[in-house]
Structure 1
Amino acid sequence: MSDDPIDRSGLRHQFWKTVPLKKMTPKEWEALCDGCGKCCLNKLEDEDTGAIALTCVACRLLDDSTCRCAQYDIRKQFVPECIVLTPDTLADHMYWIPQTCAYRLVYENKPLYDWHPLISGTPQSVHDAGVSVQDRTVSEFEFPEDEWEEFIIEEPT
């Protein structure tokens, strides 16, 4: 019998506390996503300082009512520059990952927030906590990239 019992969802109990990122199953890895949608916001990088600024300009595939990618499984076909996070690429992309992101938190050995669906038991908690970008974005098709600076926001936390 395994030391890590599997619950009805197919996830090991509190796996994020005990399982290294590189040893998580694909289902566990995906379950870490809190559904905030912040990773799908376009970011601007200052060429001089390297500082990253978050905008409310969303990727064309983000459904901002659900904060989910409308074409998640095939998103690279539509957005070739989309960064697909994996346990192997996480460290390389840490500079733009949202501060509240569970991938960042687990990587940094920090606890998940109470509003995270793995803690609260409901995907709605991230929206209720005001951490998501639900209904707060504009489409990247609405404004040219040279105007995105006007849409810089603070990260919802």
Structure 2
Amino acid sequence: MTDRFWEQKSLDAMSREEWESICDGCGKCCLHKFIEDDDEAQEGPTDVIHDGEHIHYTNVVCGLLNTKTCSCTQYSKRTELVPDCVKLTKENLKDIFFMPPSCSYRRLHEGRGLPSWHPLLNRGKKTAMYKAGMSIRGRIISENDADLDNFEDYIVMWPLEDAD
């Protein structure tokens, strides 16, 4: 890959390898989220957010996530195994309201560039991301261990934080 290719190319122009490397591996996309409006929480997946609705992040993660590496244990089959798992693509990038502000795809799409903690800027290492508090590591509970009947008990604000 070309050095700092993300500064030379749009997300649309990136190769598959370049596209995949933009993911910082924070794991925030694997957090369970729900949309609430003034009346009630919305059930099931959605691809739009309407006026008056708000996204709430929880610290509950998909059961396929390796909580130490913050990576999916079934990445290539994730959308088959978890039908509402959202696969971020060049085609659906414009609808990434559900991704946290620190998401590298969202940052590039919004013209904000990669943060200094991104692994591409740190020799492929996630250490700076962990130190900046931009990962889910050490902050989450697996959906297999959570009481999903009381999902509101798991609402957290930290996924909305962005650094740099």
TM-score range, shorter chain: 0.7 to 0.9
In the alignment, the residues of structure 2 paired with residue 124 and residue 74 of structure 1 have an alpha-carbon distance, to the nearest angstrom, of 27
Equivalent in 29, 48, 60 of residue 19 of structure 2: 29
Q: 2:86 aligns to what? A: 83
Over 3 Å off, 4+ runs? none
Query: Taking structure 2 as the reference length, what is the TM-score of the superposition?
Result: 0.84
Amino acid at match of 1:103: Y
Amino acid at match of 1:130: G
Query: Taking structure 1 as the reference length, what is the TM-score of the superposition?
Result: 0.87
In the alignment, the residues of structure 2 paired with residue 143 and residue 100 of structure 1 have an alpha-carbon distance, to the nearest angstrom, of 25
In the alignment, the residues of structure 2 paired with residue 68 and residue 53 of structure 1 have an alpha-carbon distance, to the nearest angstrom, of 22
In the alignment, the residues of structure 2 paired with residue 148 and residue 125 of structure 1 have an alpha-carbon distance, to the nearest angstrom, of 31
Amino acid at match of 2:120: L
Amino acid at match of 1:67: C
Unmatched 5+ stretches in structure 1: 1-10
Equivalent in 30, 45, 60 of residue 35 of structure 2: 45
In the alignment, the residues of structure 2 paired with residue 17 and residue 84 of structure 1 have an alpha-carbon distance, to the nearest angstrom, of 23
Unmatched 5+ stretches in structure 2: 39-51
In the alignment, the residues of structure 1 paired with residue 37 and residue 136 of structure 2 have an alpha-carbon distance, to the nearest angstrom, of 26
Q: 1:106 aligns to what? A: 108
Equivalent in 72, 75, 89 of residue 75 of structure 2: 72
Using the TM superposition, give the Cα deviation of residue 44 of structure 1 relative to its aligned residue in structure 2, in angstroms.
1.5
Q: Counterpart of 1:150 in 2: which secondary structure?
A: helix
Q: 1:59 aligns to what? A: 62
1:148 maps to 2:138: no
In the alignment, the residues of structure 2 paired with residue 44 and residue 135 of structure 1 have an alpha-carbon distance, to the nearest angstrom, of 22
Tell me the C-alpha RMSD between the 2 structures.
1.3
Q: How many percent identity over aligned positions?
A: 38
Amino acid at match of 1:32: I
In the alignment, the residues of structure 2 paired with residue 100 and residue 149 of structure 1 have an alpha-carbon distance, to the nearest angstrom, of 23
In the alignment, the residues of structure 1 paired with residue 146 and residue 112 of structure 2 have an alpha-carbon distance, to the nearest angstrom, of 37
Q: Is the 8 A contact 1:44 1:149 kept in 2?
A: no
Using the TM superposition, give the Cα deviation of residue 141 of structure 1 relative to its aligned residue in structure 2, in angstroms.
2.1
Q: 1:115 aligns to what? A: 117
